[in-house]
Amino acid sequence: MTQEINPPVRKQATSYDVARLAGVSQSAVSRVFKSGASASAKMRKRVLAAATEIGYRPNAIARGLITQRSNMVGVVISRMTNLYYPELLVQLTQAFSERGIRVLLFTLEHESEINVVLEQTLQYQVDGIVTAAILTPAQIDMLSAAGIPVVLYNRQAKHGQAAAVRCDQETGEAWLVAQLIASDHKRFAIISGPQDSTVSMERTGGALRHLSDLGIGDVTVVAGDYSYESGHQGLLEVHRRLGALPDAIIAANDAMAIGCIDAARHRLGVDVPESLSVVGFDGIGASRYAAYRLTTVQQPVARMTQATVEMLLQRIAQPDFGHEQRVFQGTPVRGHSARLS
C-alpha cells in the first residue's frame, strides 16, 4: 500500500460544469435543483447523473444573492444564557434546520455588546434574528427599517414594540412566595442576578411585590451574578447583614440557589430545608440532583424555542405580522429544598 496523496485543491463544480457535461443549458441544471420547477424526467436524470459525477453542490450563497433570501437566521445569545440553558441553542438550531434554515451564531460576553453584532448579522443578510439579549428601541427601529424580523427570547421590548417569547417570571415567583408564606415563613432574603439582567429584575421585582402584597415589606436583598459562587457568597452576606439567617432565601436562579444550599450546609452547618428554605428558578439539570432537589419553577424551554422558531418564520414569510407576545407559564416544582407544609 502506498501512502495516499491528497488531491490538489479543486474548485467546486458549478452549474455550468454540470450543464456542459450533461449537454444541457445552465438554466436547466438550475431548475433540476430547484424543488417546484419544471423539468422532464429525462432531463432530470441526465443532469443528476452529471452532477453526481463531478460532485456538484448548489452554491447556497449565490442562490441567496439572487433570491434575496439567505435562508440564514442570526441567533444572538450571551455566554451566561448558553451556560444555564444549553438546550436553548441546540433546540433552536434543530428546529430551524428541520425547516431548511441555517443558524449564524453570535455570542455576547455582555448583553451590551449587541450593537456591533446586529450590524454583522445584517451584513450577512440574515432573513431574521432571534435574540436572547435586550434590544433598545433604536435597535428595534434599525432592524425594522432594514426589514429584518426579530423575535426576542425572554426579553421584552419597550411598549411591546417587538415580537417576543417569554416565561412569566413574575407569576412563577408569586407561586414560590405563596408556598413559602403558606408554610409559615416570615423572614425573607433575596439573592438577585446581575444588574443588567431583565430576567433577574422581573424575578426579584416579582418576588418583592408579592411579599409586600402578603404583608412582608422588610426583605434583605443582596446582589449575585447568577453563578453558584455568588449564591454561596450571597448567603454568607445575608448572614452577616442580619446577624442570623432568615426563614427563606429566594434566589433569582437555580445555580445561586444551589450555591446557597451548599453554603448553608457545608459552611454554616445549617440544615436545608429544616432550618432554612431555599428556592430557585429555571429547573436546570442540577436542580434535580438528589443532593438538592430544588423547589423551583421550571421554564418550558422546549415549548419556548418551538414558539420562537414558528414566530420568526411567520414574520419572515409575512413581514407585517405584528408584534405578538407569547408568554409561557413555568412549571412549579415542589422539590425538597423548602420546608413546605
What is the binding site for DNA (CB under 7 A)? 11-12, 14-16, 24-28, 30-31, 33-34, 38-40, 42-43, 56-59, 62-63, 65-68
Residues 13-52 that bind a copy of itself (CB under 8 A): none
123 binds a copy of itself (CB under 8 A): yes
Question: Which among 70, 80, 76, 127 has a CA at the least distance from the CA of 105?
Answer: 76
Q: Residue 72 or 235: which CB sits closer to DNA?
A: 72
115 binds a copy of itself (CB under 8 A): no
Q: What is the largest CA-CA distance in the chain?
A: 87
Which position among 135, 262, 273, 338 is part of the footprint of a copy of itself (CB under 8 A)?
Answer: 262
Neighbour tally for 5: CB within 10 Å: 6
CB-facing half-sphere around the CA of 177: CA atoms within 13 A: 27
Q: Residue 40 or 331: which CB sits closer to DNA?
A: 40
Q: Residue 77 or 181: which CB sits closer to a copy of itself?
A: 77
281 binds a copy of itself (CB under 8 A): no
Site map 171..210 versus a copy of itself, x via CB under 8 A: ----------------------------------------
Cβ–Cβ under 8 Å, residues 242 and 220: yes
Question: Could you tell me whether strands 296-298 and 331-333 are parallel, antiparallel, or unpaired per DSSP bridges?
Answer: antiparallel
Judged by beta carbon distances under 5 to 8 A according to partner kind, the member of DNA, a copy of itself, none in contact with residue 98 is: none
Cβ–Cβ under 8 Å, residues 21 and 47: no
Q: Which residue has the cell 417569547?
A: 165
What is the distance between the alpha carbons of residues 152 and 142, in angstroms, rounded to a whole number? 15
101 binds a copy of itself (CB under 8 A): no
258 binds a copy of itself (CB under 8 A): yes
Closest approach of a copy of itself to the CB of residue 142, in Å: 8
Question: Which among 246, 244, 272, 269 has a CA at the least distance from the CA of 257?
Answer: 272
Q: Residue 89 or 307: which CB sits closer to a copy of itself?
A: 89
Cβ–Cβ under 8 Å, residues 188 and 180: yes
What is the distance between the alpha carbons of residues 234 and 150, in angstroms, rounded to a whole number? 36
Which position among 14, 26, 120, 171 is part of the footprint of a copy of itself (CB under 8 A)?
Answer: 120
> Could you please report the per-residue DSSP string of 173-206?
HHHHHHHHHHTT---EEEEE--TT-HHHHHHHHH
Judged by beta carbon distances under 5 to 8 A according to partner kind, the member of a copy of itself, DNA, none in contact with residue 43 is: DNA
Q: How many residues does the chain have?
A: 341
Question: Which among 234, 253, 216, 215 has a CA at the least distance from the CA of 330?
Answer: 253
Cβ–Cβ under 8 Å, residues 338 and 295: yes
Which position among 16, 53, 158, 289 is part of the footprint of a copy of itself (CB under 8 A)?
Answer: 289
Question: Could you tell me whether strands 128-131 and 188-192 are parallel, antiparallel, or unpaired per DSSP bridges?
Answer: unpaired
Total residues at interface with a copy of itself (CB under 8 A):
64
Q: Which residue has the cell 402584597?
A: 213
Question: Near a copy of itself by CB under 8 A, which window of 20-28, 81-89, 215-223, 295-303?
Answer: 81-89
Judged by beta carbon distances under 5 to 8 A according to partner kind, the member of a copy of itself, DNA, none in contact with residue 27 is: DNA
Would you tell me which residues interact with a copy of itself (CB under 8 A)? 6-7, 9-12, 55, 57-62, 64-65, 70, 72, 75, 79, 82-83, 86-87, 89-90, 93-94, 97, 102-107, 109, 119-120, 122-125, 144-147, 228, 232, 258-259, 261-263, 265-267, 285-286, 288-292, 319-320
